[in-house]
Amino acid sequence: MIYLDHNSTTIVHPEVRKLIGDITAETLNPSSVHASGQRAKGLIEQARRQLAGLVGIEANARDYQVVFTSSGTEANNLVISNFNDGDIFISAIEHPSIFNYLQYQAGIKVIKVSSEGVIDLEDLSRLLAESSNSKKLVSVMLANNETGVIQPIKEVVAIATKFGAAVHSDCVQGVGKIAVDIKELGVDFATISGHKFGGALGAAALIAKTKYHLKASIIGGGQERGIRSGTENVPAIAGLGLAAKLAKDELVSRRHKMQTLQARLEQSLPPAAKIIGEGAKRLPNTSLVVVSGFVAETQVIAFDLKGIALSAGSACSSGKTKASHVLKAMNIPEDEASTAIRISLSHHNTEEEIDTFIDAFKNIYKLRNVA
């Protein structure tokens, strides 16, 4: 199979797989006092340092803490739920783990984006100026999972700071693909998920400035400094740590490989294909492609039959034919949005795979007479 759906989940690094396999054979509960408990604790703390190292902070230093969670979704929920007594401002293109809060919590304000999928900073300022609540949170993702468009987070932080608002950035799709420095971005909170950059499913983190005293999301034995109880998923967390170390060591070469493959792919697409957000700064691995007249789900099946895995719009919304809220926010007409397929690459892909994809693409469209 040719796998071109790495924004959905990517390959677990072989070294991570080995580590997880080995650790799973041990009895590791970090809350236990005996030697194996202490070893488990050591593994968790090492992972915390490794993850912190990937994103430019020191774990357990005075300024930031790393709270391990089970998923990026949980980390996003943790931060948003901590501001449910404040005013919350989210971009119109957030992942459903933030965007769908609109269905459950009244009063959340949505910040507009441009037709290229970039946050409208004037709209952010206008919305913040209207708020009289002393507790405010702005949540803007670093890079969009559907389009790959990168957001101007430093500018968001500069504006939010003027209005006394805290800033959260969902960095799930950026980490491992581009350099992410939490300190330099200046955000108060950031979400990271291991299975997007070579870790296993089941381990993610919320990074938070220590000056915020987060309310617990899960009550129990007081793990993760009481913020997130439950016996830690030691194998997955240790795997996340190793994946972070490897991603840091290999970032430049991985990014270069992805960029080369992305350029090859985008330059070979037939003229009838349009890349969404093409003029904006994008991740080096994500291309959202529309060709009018061919519903995305039909394309995904046609590619699947040729042994190529990709998704219709966001993986998180595949299986549903509902138009993507991201493309709606970008004012892309529904008939065009419904044809969007997402090709998301990794450094594991090869030039031959890209060429096979392009051949399949041309074939599928020729059969359908749309290009």
Interface with ligand PLP (CB under 6 A): 71-73, 76, 95, 97, 141, 145, 170, 172-173, 193, 204, 316
Of 176 and 291, the one with the shorter C-beta distance to ligand PLP is 176
Catalytic hit among 11, 295, 316, 323:
316
Compute φ and ψ for 83, nearest 5 degrees: -115, 20
Residues 48 and 21: their CA atoms lie apart, in Å, by 20
User: Quick count: other Cβ atoms within 10 Å of Cβ 274?
Assistant: 16
Min dist. Cβ of residue 332 to ligand PLP (A): 19
Residues 156 and 136: their CA atoms lie apart, in Å, by 13
Min dist. Cβ of residue 149 to ligand PLP (A): 12
Of 195 and 255, the one with the shorter C-beta distance to ligand PLP is 195
Q: Please, what is the end-to-end C-alpha distance for the chain in angstroms?
A: 25
Q: Which residue is nearest to ligand PLP (CB)?
A: 72
| DSSP conformational letter for 95 | -
> Is 316 an annotated catalytic residue?
yes
Of 291 and 345, the one with the shorter C-beta distance to ligand PLP is 345
Of 87 and 146, the one with the shorter C-beta distance to ligand PLP is 146
Min dist. Cβ of residue 331 to ligand PLP (A): 21
* Paired residues of 80 in beta bridges: none
| DSSP conformational letter for 282 | B
User: Quick count: other Cβ atoms within 10 Å of Cβ 352?
Assistant: 9
Min dist. Cβ of residue 136 to ligand PLP (A): 21
Residues 78 and 215: their CA atoms lie apart, in Å, by 8
- 338 CA to centre of own chain: 22
Of 68 and 365, the one with the shorter C-beta distance to ligand PLP is 68
Min dist. Cβ of residue 140 to ligand PLP (A): 11
User: Quick count: other Cβ atoms within 10 Å of Cβ 218?
Assistant: 16
* Active site positions, annotated: 316
